[in-house]
Amino acid sequence: MKRSLSILLICLSLIAGLSGCYMSRYSKSGELNMADPAYAELMPFSANFDKALYKARLEVNGHEFSGLMMIKTSEGTNYKVSFFSELGLNFFDFELRDVGSTNGLNLYVRNIYPPLDKNMLLNKFEKYFSMLLAPGPSGDVRKTYLAQEGIGIMILMKSYKGKDGYISTNLIEPYKEIVNVGGLFKKEKISIALSYNAGTDSPESILIDQPGFRMKFSLRFVE
Amino acid sequence: MKKIRYSILFISTLIVALIIPSGMALSQNDYRPMEDVEAFRSSMISASENSLSIASDFEQMKHLSFLEEDVKSRGIFYFQKENKLRWEYSDPFYYLIIFNNDTVLIQDENNTNVYDAASGKMFRQINEIMLSMVNGSILESDDFEFEYFEKPSSYKLELRPLDENMKEFLSKIHLFINKKDITVDELLMLEKSGDYTRIHFINKRLNEEIPQHTFDLP
Model confidence pLDDT, tens digit, residues B147-194: 999 999 999 989 898 888 778 778 898 888 889 888 888 888 899 889
The rounded distance, in Å, linking the Cα atoms of B4 and B169 is: 10
- Hey, is the C-beta of B11 within 8 angstroms of any chain A C-beta? yes
User: Quick check: B8 and A91 in contact, CB under 8 A?
Assistant: no
pLDDT tens for each residue of A127-146? 999 999 998 898 888 988 88
Instruction: Tell me whether residues B193 and A110 touch, CB distance under 8 A.
Output: yes
Cα of B62 to nearest chain A Cα, Å = 6
> Across-strand partners of B106?
B97, B113
Instruction: Tell me whether residues B71 and A64 touch, CB distance under 8 A.
Output: no
Instruction: Tell me whether residues B11 and A53 touch, CB distance under 8 A.
Output: no
Q: Is the pLDDT of residue A14 over 50?
A: no
Name chain A contacts of B95, Cβ cutoff 8 Å: 86
Q: Detail the DSSP E strand segments found in chain B.
A: 32-33, 53-64, 69-80, 84-91, 95-100, 103-108, 112-116, 144-151, 154-161, 170-178, 184-191, 196-206
Q: What is the predicted ipTM?
A: 0.79
Cα of A100 to nearest chain B Cα, Å = 23
- Hey, is the C-beta of A77 within 8 angstroms of any chain B C-beta? no
The rounded distance, in Å, linking the Cα atoms of A158 and A145 is: 14
Q: Is the pLDDT of residue B47 over 70?
A: yes
- Hey, is the C-beta of B2 within 8 angstroms of any chain A C-beta? yes
Return the pLDDT at B12.
53
Residue A181: which H helix or E strand, with range?
strand A177-182
The rounded distance, in Å, linking the Cα atoms of A113 and A123 is: 16
Residue A129: which H helix or E strand, with range?
helix A119-133
Residue A15: which H helix or E strand, with range?
helix A2-19
Residue of chain B with shortest Cα separation from A59: B2
Q: Which of A159-163, B14-18, B173-177 has the lowest mean pLDDT?
A: B14-18
Is it true that the peptide bond before B150 is cis, omega within 30 degrees of 0? no
**pLDDT-derived band at A10, boundaries 50, 70, 90:** low
The rounded distance, in Å, linking the Cα atoms of A21 and A13 is: 12
Instruction: From A194, A192, A147, A143, select the one nearest A173 (Cα to Cα).
Output: A194
The rounded distance, in Å, linking the Cα atoms of B32 and B150 is: 6
- Average pLDDT value for residue range B71-91: 88
Q: Backbone phi, then psi, for A123, in 5-degree steps?
A: -65, -40
- Hey, is the C-beta of A46 within 8 angstroms of any chain B C-beta? no
Hey, how many other C-beta atoms are within 10 angstroms of the C-beta on A152?
Answer: 18
A135 CB contacts (<8 Å, ≥6 apart)? A40, A43, A77, A98, A103
* Chain A contact probe: residue of B1, B2, B4, B59 with most A CBs at under 10 A: B4
Q: Which of A26-30, A37-41, A169-173, B72-76 has the lowest mean pLDDT?
A: A26-30
Cα of B152 to nearest chain A Cα, Å = 30
- Hey, is the C-beta of B170 within 8 angstroms of any chain A C-beta? yes
Name chain B contacts of A66, Cβ cutoff 8 Å: 108
Residue B5: which H helix or E strand, with range?
helix B3-19
Q: Mind giving me the DSSP string for B110-167?
A: S-EEEEEGGGSHHHHHHHHHHHHHHTTGGGG-SSEEEEEEEETTEEEEEEEE-SHHHH
Q: Is the pLDDT of residue B6 over 80?
A: no
Name chain A contacts of B192, Cβ cutoff 8 Å: 111
**pLDDT-derived band at B138, boundaries 50, 70, 90:** low
- Hey, is the C-beta of A87 within 8 angstroms of any chain B C-beta? yes
